[in-house]
């Protein structure tokens, strides 16, 4: 007998500069959508963000710990 568990994932690619206000707005909208869509995970792709300051990084980290299953990625071409 084969068992399977559906896993629903969302991907949020970010592009451009991100300040604390924008990161907060993005995360609030992403989390609301994740609940509405019943997602298990949100992958946030930071490849298009040139610089991530300490306040923004801390904000993302807080969401990771307290709100949802969030995976942050930042792929760069080698």
In 3D space, the residue among 74, 78, 77, 57 whose CA is nearest the CA of residue 14 turns out to be: 74
pLDDT at position 17 is 92
User: In this structure, are residues 34 and 66 in contact, taking their beta carbons and an 8 Å threshold?
Assistant: no
**pLDDT per residue as tens digits for the range 14-56:** 999 999 999 889 888 988 888 899 888 889 898 999 888 888 8
Say how far apart CA 69 and CA 31 lie, in whole Å: 10
Instruction: Read off the pLDDT band of 78 (50, 70, 90).
Output: low
- Record the pTM: 0.75
Rounded mean pLDDT of 3-19?
Answer: 87
Instruction: Read off the pLDDT band of 67 (50, 70, 90).
Output: low
Say how far apart CA 42 and CA 29 lie, in whole Å: 12
User: In this structure, are residues 42 and 10 in contact, taking their beta carbons and an 8 Å threshold?
Assistant: yes
Q: Kindly calculate the radius of gyration of the chain based on its CA atoms and give it in whole angstroms.
A: 14
Neighbours of 40 (CB within 10 A): 13
């Amino acid at each position: 007998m084969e068992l399977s568990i559906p896993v629903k994932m969302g991907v949020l690619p970010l592009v451009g500069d991100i300040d604390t206000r924008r990161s907060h707005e993005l995360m609030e909208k992403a989390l609301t959508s994740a609940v509405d869509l019943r997602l298990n995970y949100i992958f946030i792709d930071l490849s298009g963000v040139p610089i991530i300051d300490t306040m923004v990084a801390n904000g993302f980290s807080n969401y990771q710990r307290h709100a949802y299953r969030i995976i942050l990625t930042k792929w760069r071409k080698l």
